[in-house]
Structure 1
């Protein structure tokens, strides 16, 4: 995870990004800030935890509930695809272009929102 953390900061600094994102709690973070790095890592970890919970829930689900869980999983995977791809590229030491990495990093708020909705839906089931 340290490599991921370093890479996000390096990416933003090298790209000279002045781009910002807005988190679910209303904070505006610059892509080249340490706060964004921490936010990105938190969102990544939270969505992984929710995805794991979702997988275990599918194992124990009735047929009707299983279909709902599959829909939740599809939405989570789609919203967090870029976040996961960026983390996987870093883990595997695969080089990605700086613009692509920056674009991928800006999807974190969408992943965060979908992760929270999925977690709330799981709690309600």
Structure 2
């Protein structure tokens, strides 16, 4: 019991203090856009996804890493607003998306730097 009391009194002094504030659990516009983009991809398909978006798809799709190598997946979900592994910059990711559009993919979602392409 004493350990619990000490832990509760020390909570505000550490980063865990944020866990008790409701704002910690609210999504910003970028997180909302990412959730919407992931929801657009049908279950059971193959999708190339950015490093931060792939985990949200892995339970219901076959996820391939969105990188420089074309894999011809029917769906692509990428965050082109910031550099993500394995790209060196957001510009490299945007160029890759532009290249996919040139070969027949169409953009079905574009918000807050999160894009979804379908072929």
Higher Rg of the two aligned structures: 2
RCO higher in 1 or 2 (8 Å CA, sep ≥ 6)? 1
Same fold (TM over 0.5): no
Give the structure-2-normalised TM-score: 0.25
Q: What is the TM-score normalised by the length of structure 1?
A: 0.24
Structure holding more helix per residue: 1
